[in-house]
Structures are given as C-alpha cells and as structure tokens.
C-alpha cells in the first residue's frame, strides 16, 4: 500500500501564498505540511514548469498560453519543475506531482516529468506520487518509468473507476472529497488503493472523510487540517 501523509498542501499552501510558487511551498512547510501537491505542464520549448492553468493570465497577469511561451520568456515567479524540486530538497518536502498537460501533450508531459524526476528527485526524500486526470498521461508515465507510483485523479468516482485504475497500474485514487460517498470510499479502500481527497479546507469535513477511510487530505490550508485531524485515524 502506498504510504502517504495525512495532509498535503494544495499548490503549496494556496490559502496563504500565491499558488504553485516557491513562496507557497515555504509557507506550506511553515504551516506544518510535509508534502505539497503541484501541477506540472510544459512550456513551448518543452521545459516542465509548475503552473495550474493553460494560460498565464489568472496567476501572472500575462495574456499568453504556457504552451506558447518559451522558458526564457516566462515570468520569474513561475518555477520550473527543477527549481521546485530544489526547493523541496531544501525544505525536506515530499510531493504529489499532478501531471497537468496542455491539450495534445498528454504523453509528452508525462515523459518529461518522469525524466526530470529520475534525474533530479533527491534520494533522501519520500518517493513522489504522480497523479493526473488524464489516463493517457498516467499510462505514458507507467510505460516510461513504472517505478513512480501513480494515482488516478477522478472528480466523481463512477462504476469504471477500478478498470481505469488497473489500466494505468495505479496505486491510489485521488478524488473530489465533496463528491465522495461512504460506500465508494469503502470500495476503494477494500480494493487496496490509497484514497486521497481534494480540496478540503474545513476541519469537520476532513474529519468526516478520514472517518470514512480516506488516507490523505489535500488542502489549501495545511495548518487548519493538520490541527483538525490531530489524533484522528482512518476508519477502516
């Protein structure tokens, strides 16, 4: 069974700092997170960067697509994946690397991501967890680097969740905690998958989800959820 922390900081600690920035990772660490979740996509020249949206507009105020921007023209506040990994090394942070490809670059993004992990991931940090909403990305990651554990990201679990997970040899399921039902949580845990939920910022909701068997809560406010879950063990 995949070993995950009880709490992962979403895009760092985005309740407190600009998402997916080095500042956000430092803030997550300060607030007690031992892991963060980040989104990785490619620039025009195929450099992996940490960025959620396809466009730079919302977070950087620049009306340009990441996929059409070369690395040299990126705003300085957007970390490359390698810069993020250097920061995790310094802070001792684990990472859930969400492969967030731009349209049509599902396999390429996965291959560049795992190549970077093979080259740069520090041996003294816990092994990273890859996740993606794109089955094609997870399959490409599995084929290129099966050693990195994978979790399938699914908004709401349908009846095909296990077939999809098996197709990419996933060890975990990461799902929308607000849409998760207790029977589905039991089904996932009984089938032997680690179960993570996003994005939960309310302590009572986090406690209820852990009571349903959830292993890991991905949150914008790691301090709030860590405090709420103090001493709460997954109900299995």
Residues found near Mg ion in the complex (CB under 5 A): 39, 98
CA neighbours within 13 Å on the CB side: how many for 49?
A: 30
Known active-site residue 161: no
Closest distance of CB 169 from ligand G3P, Å: 19
Per the annotation, the verdict on 52 as an active-site residue is yes
Nearest to 16 by CA among 29, 4, 27, 30: 27
Task: Report the alpha-carbon distance of residue 182 to residue 190 in Å, rounded.
Answer: 12
Which residues, 6+ apart, have CB-to-CB distance to 221 below 8 Å?
Answer: 13, 15, 16, 31, 201
Task: Round to whole Å and give the CA distance between 189 and 208.
Answer: 16
Contact 4, 196 (CB under 8 A): yes
Helices (H) and strands (E) in the chain, counts: 9, 9
Which residue among the candidates 26, 30, 52, 89 is catalytic per the annotation? 52
Q: How far is the CB of 158 from Mg ion (least distance, A)?
A: 20
Q: Which of 6, 10, 31, 207 is catalytic?
A: 10
User: Given the complex with ligand G3P, which of 43 and 131 has the nearer CB atom?
Assistant: 131
Name which of 97 and 140 has its Cβ closer to ligand G3P. Answer: 97
Q: Which does 19 bind (CB under 5 to 8 A by kind): Mg ion, ligand G3P, none?
A: none
Question: What is the smallest separation between the CB atom of 224 and ligand G3P, expressed in angstroms?
Answer: 17
Whichever of 39 and 106 has its CB closer to Mg ion, that residue is 39
Q: Which does 174 bind (CB under 5 to 8 A by kind): Mg ion, ligand G3P, none?
A: ligand G3P
Q: State in angstroms the smallest separation of the CB of 64 from ligand G3P.
A: 20
- Do the Cβ atoms of 226 and 35 come closer than 8 Å? no
Q: CA torsion 53→59→64→70, rounded to 10°?
A: -80
Instruction: Catalog residues that contact ligand G3P under the rule CB under 6 A.
Output: 10, 37, 39, 52, 98, 131, 153, 174, 198-199, 218
Nearer to ligand G3P, 109 or 174 (CB): 174
Q: Among all residues, which ones are annotated catalytic?
A: 10, 52
């Amino acid at each position: 069974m995949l070993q995950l922390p009880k709490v992962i900081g979403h895009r760092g600690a985005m309740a407190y700092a600009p998402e997916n920035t080095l500042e956000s990772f430092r803030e997550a660490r300060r607030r007690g997170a031992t892991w963060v979740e980040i989104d990785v996509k490619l620039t025009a020249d195929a450099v992996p960067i940490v960025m959620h949206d396809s466009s730079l507009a919302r977070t950087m105020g620049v009306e340009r697509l990441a996929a059409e921007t070369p690395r040299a023209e990126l705003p300085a506040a957007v970390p490359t994946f390698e810069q993020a990994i250097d920061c995790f090394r310094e802070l001792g942070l684990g990472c859930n690397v969400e492969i967030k490809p731009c349209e049509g670059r599902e396999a390429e993004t996965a291959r560049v991501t795992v190549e970077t992990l093979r080259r740069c991931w520090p041996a003294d940090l816990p092994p990273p967890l890859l996740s993606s909403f794109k089955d094609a990305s997870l399959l490409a990651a599995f084929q290129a680097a099966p050693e990195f554990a994978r979790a399938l990201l699914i908004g709401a679990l349908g009846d095909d969740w296990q077939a999809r997970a098996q197709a990419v040899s996933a060890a975990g399921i990461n799902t929308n905690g607000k849409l998760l039902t207790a029977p589905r949580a039991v089904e996932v845990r009984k089938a032997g998958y680690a179960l993570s939920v996003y994005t939960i910022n309310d302590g009572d909701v986090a406690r209820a989800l852990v009571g349903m068997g959830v292993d890991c809560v991905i949150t914008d406010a790691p301090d709030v959820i860590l405090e709420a879950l103090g001493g709460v063990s997954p109900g299995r």
